[in-house]
Amino acid sequence: MQESEHEFTAWTPAEKRQALVDMTAARGGVIEVEDIVEEASDPKHIFHDEFNWDDVSAAHERRLEQAHDLIHRYKVIFEKKEPTGDPVQHRLNMFSRSDTGSGYSLTTEILAAPERAENLLNRLKGEAGHLNEKINTYRDVAGIIAAGDKWSVVSRAITEALK
């Protein structure tokens, strides 16, 4: 069947979440990514349109992901003297997003330029705020789990996912 013959269905996020729950339940409570890809290969499957089925462009996209991973893998260590005079080592990503938003620059070069360092600091503060929100959500969920109401956990997770 060619792509033009394929009838597109607009699935809602709720339907997609339920499909994942159903697929997981059908496998005894554990689903592997390979299971999702295998089922989604059917052009009529709810997740078919979530994937790039063109092997050439999909391979290129994967290589771009690998390049991002490579950039984030390496760290640089720098020492900063504390008021006590003792040096403290800090590990940073060797590269950080450039100021333009596209591409990466050496973190040490960004930190050497006050305006660029301020931009990086503001971006990191935003990321820290987002991470803090996630941590608080996990703490809330842990409290619900401790109370023993597993369906409240599912309901809360769905509510958070819809935000």
35 is in which domain, residue-wise? 1-51
Tell me phi and psi for residue 78, to 5 degrees.
-130, 155
Within a domain: residue 135?
yes
Within a domain: residue 159?
yes
The predicted-structure confidence for 56-109, as pLDDT tens digits, reads as follows 999 999 999 999 899 888 888 878 888 888 888 888 888 888 777 678 888 888
Domain finish residue from 15, 30, 51: 51
pTM attached to this predicted model: 0.58
The predicted-structure confidence for 111-136, as pLDDT tens digits, reads as follows 889 998 998 899 889 999 999 999 98
Bridge pairing between strands 95-97 and 104-106: antiparallel
Number of domains within the chain: 2
Question: Among all chains, which residue has been given the structure tokens 């958070």?
Answer: 160
Helices (H) and strands (E) in the chain, counts: 6, 4
Dist. CA 84–CA 90, nearest whole Å:
16
Within a domain: residue 90?
no
